[in-house]
Amino acid sequence: MFAPISEIFDSVQGEGPYVGVRQAFVRFVGCNLNCSYCDTPREDVGHCRFENNAGSGSFEEFQNPLTVNMVEELLEHFKHIHSISLTGGEPLLHADFISQMRTSVPLYLESNMTLPQKAKKIKGRISYVSGDVKLTDEFEGEDFESHLDRTIECFRVLKTTKIRDCFCKIVVTNETDPDDVLGVVGAISNYISCVVLQPVTQGATTKPAPVQSLMELQKNLLDEIDTRIIPQTHKMWGCL
């Protein structure tokens, strides 16, 4: 079994309720969406870069695609890690590959939550789910209702249980409609432990929502579920 992987490294989780925990990261190539604020390359450049010493900026390169065994061997280099973040791109595109990975630490899935059939293949292997909800202002592709149905189904498949924590992360821009957020959270609140509102990191084309409107949205969501506002912290201090 092979998969194209763009990078493997260890660092700290920069987003959500587990911010600051030490993790190994496996970044898969490819995504089924096209978000306006996407900051990860989605094309295979032909090799996977591997950083053995965190923060060194020194990388070895391995030709893509990688085998499961190869990924497992590279992950062995990392010590004291809380979990292995499967990220992308969209890691669920590589569900068959993930289902074959054998690791001694828990798996932490970072997903756009739009591929419920793929999610079913690996739900028993995943201990943490950082599930994004993609809203109308950032959604491109098929009709929004189908997109939303698949998102809700994906959260149902990967819901919080005694052995898995599933939380929802919503990137909020100045174009995000609070009613969209309230609607989708209402539909998945039984499946998740908390909501994280992540103000979009300001870029050339993306602007965060005003502080007051974000606070108002949090207040309304708190009527229903634990809701936190957490920006991307790794961007603040420049780590991977």
Per CB under 6 A, residues contacting ligand SF4 are 31, 33-35, 38, 40, 88-90, 112
Least separation in angstroms between residue 31's CB and ligand SF4 is 3
In terms of CB distance, is 83 or 87 closer to ligand SF4? 87
Least separation in angstroms between residue 204's CB and ligand SF4 is 16
Least separation in angstroms between residue 36's CB and ligand SF4 is 9
Are 202 and 229 within 8 A, CB to CB? no
Least separation in angstroms between residue 33's CB and ligand SF4 is 4
In terms of CB distance, is 35 or 217 closer to ligand SF4? 35
In terms of CB distance, is 38 or 236 closer to ligand SF4? 38
Least separation in angstroms between residue 214's CB and ligand SF4 is 19
Alpha carbons 225 and 97: distance in angstroms, whole number? 34
Least separation in angstroms between residue 128's CB and ligand SF4 is 17
In terms of CB distance, is 41 or 55 closer to ligand SF4? 41
From the list 82, 27, 15, the residue with the least C-alpha distance to 51 is 27
Least separation in angstroms between residue 104's CB and ligand SF4 is 27
Which residues are registered as beta bridge partners of 49?
7, 61
Longest Cα separation, the chain = 50
In terms of CB distance, is 8 or 31 closer to ligand SF4? 31
- Sort 10 into a burial class: Cβ within 10 Å, 0-12 / 13-18 / 19+: buried
Alpha carbons 224 and 49: distance in angstroms, whole number? 42
In terms of CB distance, is 10 or 15 closer to ligand SF4? 15
Residue with tokens 């609607």: 183
Are 204 and 39 within 8 A, CB to CB? no
Alpha carbons 136 and 146: distance in angstroms, whole number? 12
Alpha carbons 127 and 161: distance in angstroms, whole number? 9
Three-class SS state of 64: coil
In terms of CB distance, is 30 or 106 closer to ligand SF4? 30
Three-class SS state of 224: coil
Alpha carbons 18 and 128: distance in angstroms, whole number? 10
